[in-house]
Chains A and B, each alone.
Chain A
């Protein structure tokens, strides 16, 4: 079946611009997660959605980052006034119901480069 998909696969933008990154989770998965991965590091948690609501956004680095999941499926990560330090791979994952023991299924990521 279809896995988690993310678009775009690559995004190049200029410092100060606004970007949106999209995630399509596995159909039926109520839990959705965003992570950020810098070069040579493991992914770092950003935000967790349970259905339409953000159950935990403690990993968002500052108020320039925002994410939505209005219908409980597709999610969009939004970054305002991008900075060069935002350059990273942004990974999305989903799981059936959000229990900690569940396997999270990751998408291929969006590579964001801020010039």
Chain B
């Protein structure tokens, strides 16, 4: 499993865009990049997954440069309810079912 590095915490205000960058220098050719979100007192929830370039869904966008050694999760126009811990995971080849969470990035959105 590729090791990931992401900031411990980030602060933002309502309506702003939040970008969380994750470094994964030793990502393997077949690895995917996945982000999970965890609210207090809840289990993690899948947000988005990508392999290269850009992926967008109703919650977030994921930007992956050509070398794939990093990725950026972008949360547009955050609200107070986006306050959570965000985890970057790399790996998940076909048989890799063990999700390997680091400490994640705690995003705090203020009014």
Contacts and interface: CB of A to CB of B under 8 A. Distances in A.
B43 A45 contact: no
Interface of B: 32, 41-46, 49, 85, 87, 91-104
A42 B101 contact: yes
Interface string A50-82: 000000100100000000000000000000000
Nearest to A46: B98
Q: For chain A, what secondary structure do more than half of its interface residues adopt (helix, strand, loop), or is it mixed?
A: loop
Interface of A: 4, 31, 33, 35, 40-45, 48, 56, 59, 91-93, 95, 98-109
A44 B104 CA distance: 13
A91 B43 contact: yes
A108 B42 CA distance: 4
Contact of B97 (A43, A48, A92): A48
Contact of B103 (A41, A48, A104, A105): A41
B46 A103 contact: yes
Given A31-B97, A100-B97, A104-B46, 9 more contacts: A42-B85, A45-B98, A93-B99, A95-B97, A99-B94, A100-B95, A100-B96, A106-B43, A108-B41
